[in-house]
Structure 1
Amino acid sequence: MRKYRFVQVDVFTNRPFGGNQLAVFPEAEGIADAEMQAIAREMNFSETTFVLPPTDPDHDARVRIFTPGQELPMAGHPTVGTGFVLGAERGKADLVFELGVGPTPVSVEVTNGMAGRATMQQRVPNYWEAAANREEAASLVSLGAEAVHASLPILNGGAGVDYLYVPLRDRNDLAAARPDAAAMTRYFGDAFHKAVYLFSIERDAESDVRGRMFFLVNGATLEDPATGSAAGPLAGYLVNQGVLPPGSIRLRQGHEMGRPSDIEVTVTGAADAITRVTVGGGVVKVAEGTLFLP
């Protein structure tokens, strides 16, 4: 039997059993592509990462990211969580990962080997008009058209992975949302990433915006406790629309799932002229183990 060590962390939280779960395989050489996908299904987290030697010696690692249903070119909480694991194990504060979208800088702060923080730099997001009108967008999550915010646009956007961004009227509508697998399947069709990101711009002491993300995996809907790859473009959206100024933006997600996640996004630049986006937060190590393969 082949043996592969893995580390489990909770990402975008400062306490165990919050945030988004992640399994990291720090020495993944020898695991075939099909095996990586099978392992991600076995772990059954939103994502699992596999760390390989870099193709460029100036970089620290090549990182492959798998959901239970597909490989992604990039993702937020897997990059942040893997950054913490490798930073803690290698004693490095600055790393560069080779992702499917290219070299990605990650900065790491380790408190005691069991907890800390990590922040990734993302590509400047882009946006384009969504095909969905208010009624169709609301139907994807079992809401009426009146639940969609009256003045903010429904847009597609992304920085490596695309989302349908749907602004809602308030947090009550956000809490009431329930994904409709049949409606999402019809709407997204053969799109690579079938995901809708809902958000409310009601502010409080904990956050500037709250969100929920639903996505399709093998015809079934799942909810993600924290979506770093969506957080950067969401913050850019809010800056572009004049909802929030550039700077630090606090996003809370996972509240409705009982896994509250706090994502910190920094947007540099100005509306329609964003120059830099970073996404980060706390990471807590919760488990280690060994996986056996034939």
Structure 2
Amino acid sequence: MPSFDFKQVDVFSSVPLKGNPLAVVIAADGVSDDRMAAFANWTNLSETIFLLRPAAPQADYRVRIFTPRGELPFAGHPTLGACAVWLASGGQPRGDTIIQECAAGLITLRRDGSGVAFAAPPLVRSGAVETELLPRIAAGLGLGLGDILDAQWVDNGPGWLAVLLASRRQVLALRPDPAALGDLKVGVIAPWDPTVDGTEAQFEVRAFVPGLGIPEDPVTGSLNAGVAQWLIGSGRALDAYVASQGTALGRAGRVHVRKSGPDIWIGGEVVTCIEGKVTL
């Protein structure tokens, strides 16, 4: 059986074991769809990706993204991890930016200090969450309806909706019911209070995706990309802020958000934890 270069990296953290892990199989063009899915199921990480030669002429590389239960058209922390690994493996972008091809289309990335950042893709679904869905969301999160200040669809491919709460304390206290949430992909966000929480970040985020076999995702680029468009667009956030995620899981993820012209960039650092060969 063929062997492939392999890395497991931690995304949205400069400190190993404090971000969101990602399995990366490099130059994986010879791996079948079934083997990709089986390997992702075996790693049991929130996502496993396969770096491939691009099909689109303007792309620098292509990526396929798998959860333990299926393939995703786009996801944020795999996008940053893929870019960092591609660059570290000798990838040379054709221009000033890096173009990733995935099932959702072409994603633009750039180096961002010691990390990388991607331009938030357009939302495929936006607007207020339907009123009749709110009781199910509240029950699934263990909240009263009055605790939800606002709820919006922020779907850029995976299916996200986001719920706004009043305080970081409320977000960290959540103990959701996976059965009640079912196949919903729910992000929860609240502002930090500088006098209580400090100034290292401005928002706290949690992401619940029990339908994908992931009760809680540690740090989530796609969710933060959708939430950033909502928060900045509604005036709830400044054009640049930091989101904290993973606190409830013992992680210390930091997502750097910056609006530049028409684009909102979602960035973070990536550190390698494991590298070697994998036989598939």
> TM-score, normalised on structure 1?
0.86
Measure, in 2, the Cα distance between the counterparts of 1:42 and 1:289. 17
Decide which of 121, 124, 136 is 1:123's aligned counterpart: 121
Q: Provide the secondary structure at the position in 1 that maps to 2:269.
A: strand
Equivalent residue number for residue 230 of structure 2:
237
- In 1: Cα distance, 2:236 partner to 2:112 partner: 31
3-state SS of the aligned residue for 1:128?
A: coil
Secondary structure class of the residue paired with 1:183: helix
**TM superposition shift of 1:134:** 4.6
* 1:169 alignment counterpart: 166
1:100 corresponding residue in structure 2: 103
CA-to-aligned-CA distance 1:155-178 (integer Å, 9 cap, x gap) = 112223321211112122211212
Name the CA distance, whole Å, in 2 between partners of 1:33 and 1:91. Answer: 24
- Rounded to whole Å, the distance in 1 between the matches of 2:111 and 2:259 is 19
Please give the secondary structure, in 2, of the residue aligned with 1:159: coil
Q: Which deviates more, 89-98 or 279-288?
A: 89-98
Partner Cα separation in structure 1 for residue 64 and residue 55 of structure 2: 13
For the residues of structure 1 that align with 2:24 and 2:91, how far apart are their CA atoms? 17
Secondary structure in 1 aligned to 2:256? strand
Give the distance between the partners of 1:55 and 1:217, measured in 2 at CA: 31
Secondary structure in 2 matching 1:84: helix
Deviation at residue 12 of structure 1 after TM alignment: 0.4
Partner of 1:59: helix, strand, or coil?
Answer: coil
Q: Which region of structure 1 is more displaced relative to structure 2, 233-242 or 123-132? A: 123-132
Shift of 1:229: 0.5
Output the TM-score relative to the length of structure 2: 0.90
Cα distance in 1 for residues equivalent to 2:279 and 2:26: 15
- In structure 2, list runs of 5 or more residues that go unmatched: none
Structure 1 partner of 2:242:
250
Q: Is the 8 A contact 1:124 1:277 kept in 2?
A: no
Residue type at the aligned position of 1:258: G
Q: Which runs of 5+ in 1 are unaligned?
A: 111-115, 189-193, 270-274
**Inter-CA distance 37–104: structure 2 relative to 1 (3 Å threshold):** same
Which structure features the higher share of strand residues? 1
> CA contact under 8 A between 1:212 and 1:224: conserved in structure 2?
yes
Shift of residue 32, structure 1, vs aligned partner: 1.0
Q: Percent identity?
A: 33
Task: State the distance in 2 between where 1:134 and 1:69 align.
Answer: 26
Q: 2:187 aligns with which of 179, 183, 197?
A: 197
CA distance in 2, matches of 1:266, 1:43: 32
- Counterpart check, 1:265 vs 2:265: no
Q: Give the root-mean-square deviation of aligned CA atoms.
A: 1.9
Residue-pair matches, total? 271
Structure 1 residue 268 displacement after superposition: 4.0
Distance 1:29 1:208 in 2: 41
